[in-house]
Amino acid sequence: MFAIRNLLGEIPALGALLDTAALRKLLGELFPAGGHLTKAIYFDKPAGSNWLVAWHQDLMINVAHRADVPGFGPWTAKAGWVAVQPPVDVLENTVTVRLHLDACDATNGALKVVPGSHRRGVVPAAAIAGHTATATVCAVPAGGAMLMKPLLLHASNRSTSDRPRRVIHLEFSAEELPAGLAWRERRAWGG
């Protein structure tokens, strides 16, 4: 199994383990008026696995159901999940916290990012390659956290190591979706 989507829905007891004072403090600084969890995924790139993730931005959000709301689209649906690309301001006000269960570096698939690219808005797919010259690898120790914005251009190489790369990917936002739409995985965080 290389990924578990809706991680806290699949393993509810994990929520209490992840809801630490350190994470609540960080989220309080990022979202002084309050925020909520919008997505939780477990990623596992096992030792010796051999795939890469191409350059991209995280443009889609999971919603409970489709609703025709101005500014939201395109839509996708697969395996009973509905996702939509929201307006840029929703993505700009979302933060991803990647909790690393294993040390991660260039040999076992650490993320490569283009610093500052989240300030460019949505980059057309055909133009992404022209923005990656300043990419850097984000090595993270076991137990460490990496913060990023969904609009940050990111990718990862194939693993060339015998070490795994397990990550818990949590997305948080203070954004409220307009009437007719609801975050599929929305959870209050930190009481």
Query: What is the mean pLDDT of the segment spanning 165-179?
Result: 96
Phi, psi of 18 (to 5 degrees): -85, -20
Per residue in 48-65, pLDDT (tens digit) is 677 889 999 999 999 999
Domain interval for residue 157: 3-188
Taking the C-alpha atoms of residue 112 and residue 106, their distance in angstroms, rounded to an integer, is 8
Taking the C-alpha atoms of residue 54 and residue 58, their distance in angstroms, rounded to an integer, is 12
Q: What is the CATH number of the domain that holds 127?
A: 2.60.120.620
Q: Does the pTM of the predicted model rise above 0.85?
A: yes
Residue 78 pLDDT > 70: yes
pLDDT at 51: 83
pLDDT at 191: 46
Per residue in 115-164, pLDDT (tens digit) is 999 999 999 999 999 999 999 999 999 999 999 999 999 999 988 889 99
The number of distinct structural domains making up the chain is 1
List Cβ neighbours of 103 (8 Å cut-off, separation of 6 or more): 139, 140, 141, 142, 163
Taking the C-alpha atoms of residue 150 and residue 45, their distance in angstroms, rounded to an integer, is 20
